[in-house]
Amino acid sequence: MSRRRGRLYGRLPIVLGGAIVVVLAAMALGAGLLFPEDPMAMVAQPLLWPGQDPAFPLGTDSLGRDIAAGIVHGARASLAVGILSSITSLLLGTTLGALAGHFGARVDDALMRLCELFQAIPQFMLVIVLLVIFRPTLATVIGALAVVSWPPIARLVRAEFIVLREREFVQSCRVIGMSEARIMLTQILPNALPVIIVGATIMVASAILMEAALSFLGLGDPNVLTWGAMIGMGRDQLREAWFVVVVPGSALLITALGLNLLGEGLNDVLNPRRMVPR
């Protein structure tokens, strides 16, 4: 009974996190159906409180825009930024980490010095500099976040490749004449996927939060409504209409919580050395 309870407890994070992510994905995919109008359009009296008008269940902001429409459409923008920037940084970080860990020696030294160079610069400041140099659009935000996010995953992949390259199954592949590229892609990389998958969920959450901070500072795409932009536009009404800030802030909190729970649950499932409470 205690072992079964421990297994159920171990599955709880992945169930809760997965449920939150599924709901967010459904909101993002169905945004056009749920709220076909422009989320930036002024549709009602400004600063309607949640529940005051059934047509606007989450109220309106200082310009009379529907907060519920902004939350749903903001989910699409936030997930797009988080997922696309994470995919880009994963590809870059995994490639460089795999090369460094597999070949070692000078290749490892050169790539790790490059990694340390990027890590020596504060991520958020580097993103701001990149967005100041390039016009802030959704594409440049995704690119800037990808540029600063790859070093941690590169170090994780490098550590996994260093351990796995000495395993017996890798040595046997070399004995039968398999090429190094094939060994990396078909033998080592699949065994390093658990670490990459777990790291990806954390990267998506971090990218969403960083994009929200950029939008709050006015460095996001002005043509796209995001949760961070909603918080930034509502900060002047925080005293008299706190819901304008709290609603999109809660959406960010729930999203980050769901992704972190999903990452924790995936780590328990994919890690064969995990300990099950007795």
pLDDT at 70 over 70: yes
Write down the pLDDT at residue 245.
93
Fold for domain 2-270?
MetI-like fold (1.10.3720)
Cα dihedral value 10, 78, 218, 235, nearest 10: -60
pTM of the predicted protein model: 0.86
Written as one letter, the residue type at 168 is: E
Write down the pLDDT at residue 10.
57
DSSP assignment of 97-157, as one string? HHHHHHH-HHHHHHHHHHHHHHHHS-HHHHHHHHHHHS---HHHHHHHHHHHHHHHHHHHH
Write down the pLDDT at residue 187.
86
pLDDT at 120 over 80: yes
Write down the pLDDT at residue 275.
42
Do 78 and 227 contact (CB within 8 A), yes or no? yes
pLDDT at 274 over 50: no
Write down the pLDDT at residue 2.
45
For range 141-167, the mean pLDDT: 91
Do 182 and 59 contact (CB within 8 A), yes or no? no
For range 164-176, the mean pLDDT: 86
d(CA 49, CA 57): 8
